[in-house]
A = this chain, B = another copy of it.
Amino acid sequence: MKKVKVGINGYGVIGKRVADAVVLQNDMELVGVCDIVSDWRIKMAVDKELPVYAFDDAFKKEMTTAGIPIEGNLDDLIAQSDLIVDCTPKSIAAKNIEKYKASNTKFILHGGEKHETTGHSFSAENNYESAINLDATRVVSCNTTSILRTLTALKRADLLDYARGTLLRRATDPWESHLGGIMNTMVPERDIPSHQGPDAQIVDPELNVITSAIKVPQTLSHLHYWNVKLKKHATKDEVLNAFKTSSRIKFINYDEGLVSNNTIKEMFLDMGRPWGDMYEVAIWEDMLKVQGDELFYAYVVDNQAIVIPETIDAIRALTGIEKDGAKSIAKTNESLGII
């Protein structure tokens, strides 16, 4: 089987994870990773023997001077790739798109970008098939991905009337927590509803979902509290069974000592996951409560990891090497150790 040639633009929090995940797929080949930095971060790619590209010739010069072997610039990477996963920061990605389009190279953006930039927003369990052979898609953000996974599961079981969520967001990622964090405070998002609800509705317009969001001073993960109006009175088991229809939802139990998001992080480090990554949404099973036609639950979202399997699936969908979403999801799950 011919492998899909994947290039990655932007070797940061997401880019480095996508790179490692692509390497694990037997139907993909990593052409290289592209960046602009010359410091320890890109040197890790060199240590992993990944081909490194510079954004342009000016950066190529800088990076070469810093001792980093450079294979070429972004144009070279595009030329050799069937598909580019763009993991550059917001606003920069938009500028690269012209290049991808001009060269007729398929591309994937991430949740920081607007839906309009690609015209398609991707969530594997929701709309894999609609992305097949498209030129481009946007993998929705970490928060939106988690909302779609969980609410869609309830919807599949015909349980969901409407959902109201409070989203506690990590303030910054660990690797840049020396830069722009928040300290001994909580910072609400200005607007209620916050943007995550409408973002989920781009993928599934039928969802009745409203969210509020707030930043809290920790770096590990997001944590969502939900209050869901069910279509009918239901048992806890019915709800759990609904969630079990997603292979990327994991149940955890407070009474087993998993009482906080730091303990969850430690468990995934114990499991040997790279960076302690949790690709799954972790719902507290024993905290979950059904009361009449109301459902209450909380879960944790690893904002650095949750979109990685989604991105791998999106590569298969766009390139059409797998037409069946369920098969792609199963394949991705196995490669990443999601069971």
Contacts and interface: CB of A to CB of B under 8 A. Distances in A.
A27 interface: no
A37 B258 CA distance: 13
Interface stretch (A96-104, A150-158, A187-195): A187-195
Interface of A: 16, 37, 39-41, 43-44, 47, 164, 166, 168, 171-172, 174-188, 190-193, 210, 212, 214, 216-220, 223, 225, 227, 254-263, 265-267, 269-272, 274-276, 284, 287-289, 291, 294, 296-298
A263 B37 CA distance: 15
A29 B192 CA distance: 46
Contacts of A260: 178, 182, 185-188
Contact of A172 (B40, B183, B284, B287): B183
B271 A216 contact: no
B182 A182 contact: no
9 contacts: A40-B263, A181-B183, A183-B219, A184-B184, A186-B218, A190-B287, A191-B289, A210-B296, A217-B218
B192 A185 contact: no
Copies in the complex: 4
Nearest to A45: B270
Contacts of A210: 227, 291, 294, 296
Given A175-B266, A214-B225, A266-B174, A259 B187 contact: yes
B188 A184 contact: no
B178 A187 contact: yes
B298 A192 contact: yes
Nearest to A162: B294
Nearest first, the 4 A-B pairs at minimum CB distance are A39-B257, A181-B183, A185-B262, A178-B260
Nearest to A294: B210
Contacts of A220: 184-185
A254 B214 CA distance: 13
Nearest to A185: B262
Contact of A41 (B191, B225, B257, B259): B257
B183 A214 contact: no
